[in-house]
Amino acid sequence: MKLKGPWNAGAVERFLAESVIPARIGVLTTNGVPLVLSLWFVHRDGAIWCACNKKARVIELLARNPRCGFEIAAETPPYRGVRGQGVAQLDIPGGAGVLAELLERYRIPGHSRLATMLLEEAVNEVAIRIEPEWMTSWDFSARMSDL
């Protein structure tokens, strides 16, 4: 994987581990128009993992064309983050496990309505593993230090 920007691989790893925000994933629709959506993610083994219901349009689109883009960046100053492109693999049996990992990572209580609803449908979850081909980082912390 190619890595550009001010952060080295360790800094990217730390940012992705500490950032409990959704990833923005960009895919191409069947008519070639980009579609961007937000999904919870976890970064492990050099890949970005998400989970989504097997009936979701993004699953259909990634099955047709696994190439995608992504961005993980906070919406509040100081602006910093990573973006890149990669290839997605769909892992149908792994979806429930990734969903459970995401609920824990995003601190969704197991007894909450959201967790209950998602876990009731866990058998229909598909794991999305995005293998980055390149990533770039940016960090405007120094020039935004007085905000």
**CATH code at position 115:** 2.30.110.10
Whether 146 maps to a domain, the answer reads no
Q: Tell me what pLDDT residue 108 has.
A: 92
State the pLDDT at residue 19: 94
Can you give the pLDDT at residue 137?
96
Give per-residue pLDDT as tens, 70-129: 999 988 888 899 999 999 999 888 999 999 999 999 999 888 998 887 888 888 999 999
Backbone angles phi, psi at 76, to 5 degrees: -120, 150
- Residue 7 placed within a domain: yes
In a domain, 145, yes or no: no
Q: What is the pLDDT of residue 98?
A: 96
The string of pLDDT tens digits covering residues 59-72 is: 999 999 999 999 99
| pLDDT band of 145, cuts 50, 70, 90 | low
Beta bridge partners of 8: none
Please give the Cα distance from 50 to 68 (Å, whole number).
13
**73 close to 83: Cβ distance less than 8 angstroms:** yes
Q: How many CB atoms lie within 10 A of CB 142?
A: 8
Give the model confidence (pLDDT) of 1-35 as tens digits. 899 999 999 999 999 999 999 999 999 999 999 99
**Would residue 52 count as lying in a domain?**
yes
Label residue 55 exposed, middle or buried (CB < 10 Å: 0-12, 13-18, 19+).
exposed
3-state secondary structure string across the chain: CEEECCCCHHHHHHHHHHCCCCEEEEEECCCCCEEEEEECCEEECCEEEEEEECCCHHHHHHHHCCEEEEEEECCCCCCEEEEEEEEEEEECCCHHHHHHHHHHHCCCCCCCHHHHHHHHCHHHEEEEEEEEEEEEEEECCHHHCCC
Q: Structural domain tally of the chain? A: 1
pLDDT confidence of residue 90:
97
Residue 141 counted as domain residue: no
For residue 69, tell me if it sits in a domain. yes
| Residue 27: domain span | 2-135
**Domain-embedded: residue 142:** no
CA distance 108 to 42: 14
Domain assignment present for residue 144? The answer is no
